[in-house]
Amino acid sequence: MLENYFKIAMAILKRRKFFTFISLFGISFTLTILIVLTAFIDKIIADNYPNAKNDRSLYVKNLEERGGEKDHFSSASGPMSFYFLDHFVGSLKTPIRIAICSFYNSTNTYVNNKKIVIDYKYTNAAYWDALDYEFLEGKPFDNQQVKSGDLVAVISEDIKVKYFGDMASVVGKYIEADNVRYRVCGVVKNVPITSYMFYGEMYLPYTVSKTGYKDQSYRGDYLAILLAGSQAEVPKMQEEFDQMVRKIPMESKSYDTIFCHADSYLTGYLRTGNEASSGMTYAILAIAIFVIIFMLLPTLNLVNINITRIMERSSEIGVRKAFGASSKTLVYQFIVENLILTLLGGIIGFILSAIILLCINNADLIPNLHLSLSLTVFFVGMITCLIFGLLSGVYPAWRMSKMNVINALKEQ
């Protein structure tokens, strides 16, 4: 039965090539955009490098202080100081590691009169235990080197190539940045800039920072990663963190409330600050609205094209009804035919998506970001094809099932 439906569908598609082209173009173009978008989101959410312990980690990246009085309202929000994280967050007992690092900043260096921009960040020694960077050479700096303020650095493979060229090994060599010479102790695999909490091209001990990590104000340029001993201990770690936040004294009389969250990676990524709750709901809603609006126009166009096709086949439908074909059988046939059309459009969409993703990766539009058609992306694409086929096929099929036999036969 399905084989016959497939043959009929192919014959119908060949009959009106222009309509077929418009249908396939609408399906494949829409699906291509959604697949590329899904590949980007999937890379951000599902990439487990270098946070392979993501399932037992919580991320602290923002502090908000609010003050509300009768005549005015005050608020201050942003990353935290090293002191705040070390003094308050560092007092927690549940985490087995508390990694502290700065957000990345940029500096210039010169090699053979060529300017190189280096994105650097400061970390503590626990940072390397909480995360799983892949070391291509050497090893991370240890706690003793951090305490001593040693001028050592872990660099990315990109910076190794840009600064040292094709040198086989650079461990023990010196790299200059911001007029300071650092000894390279390790080289790590690149991290995409979209993983902004972990991204850096040069990682330095926080004790060599020039910005004053001993400053006891609450806000600064640092974030923390809390690592639990097991996934089962994450809720306990979350509760301990929330209790700690409630006990933090106000930094200024201008404020009377502190908001600080230890979130999962995705929630922390979406949290924008200036809010008592995460931005998860807003993000999901925004994506859903975008997808619905983006799919609505090609779906409506496909519905109109399908209705036109049905009107052209009215005589065929009339004959089949006259010989006893039920409305259910006709509806089923037409929906299967439409699913075959959307599947063809989906195949074209996947091919175009693979080409576009390859172009994006080769162009290196986003540093170190390599998009791919993962199983998640493939699944989303197939679901999209199914939705296209059903939405654009159900109403025309219903119209066809209600067609009067006599009126349909008159079209012969």
Counted domains in the chain: 2
One domain for residues 19 and 88: no
One domain for residues 255 and 298: no
**Dihedral (CA of 116, 119, 125, 126) sign:** negative
One domain for residues 144 and 72: yes
One domain for residues 138 and 174: yes
One domain for residues 230 and 126: yes
- Calculate ∠ Cα 296-41-392, nearest 5°: 20
Domain extent for 203? 63-260
Contact 28, 349 (CB under 8 A): yes
One domain for residues 367 and 226: no
In this structure, the number of other CB atoms found within 10 A of the CB of residue 227 comes to 22
Any domain includes 8: yes
Any domain includes 52: no
One domain for residues 114 and 21: no
Any domain includes 276: no
The pLDDT of residue 245 is 95
One domain for residues 178 and 132: yes
pLDDT along the chain (412 residues), means of 10: 62 67 78 85 83 94 78 74 96 97 93 91 97 97 96 97 93 93 97 91 95 86 96 96 94 85 86 63 75 74 70 66 68 75 83 89 80 79 76 71 57 50
One domain for residues 220 and 174: yes
Any domain includes 300: yes
Q: How far apart (Å, rounded) are the C-alpha atoms in residues 102 and 63?
A: 14
Which residue in the block uniquely carries the two structure tokens 């409305």? Answer: 327
Any domain includes 23: yes
Q: Give strand pairing partners of 205.
A: 123
One domain for residues 136 and 245: yes
Any domain includes 270: no
One domain for residues 109 and 239: yes
236-243 contacts, C-beta under 8 A, 24 or more apart: 236/94, 237/58, 237/92, 237/94, 237/95, 237/262, 238/58, 238/262, 240/92, 240/93, 240/94, 241/58, 241/60, 241/89, 241/92
Any domain includes 374: yes
The pLDDT of residue 142 is 96
What is the model's pTM? 0.80
One domain for residues 188 and 221: yes
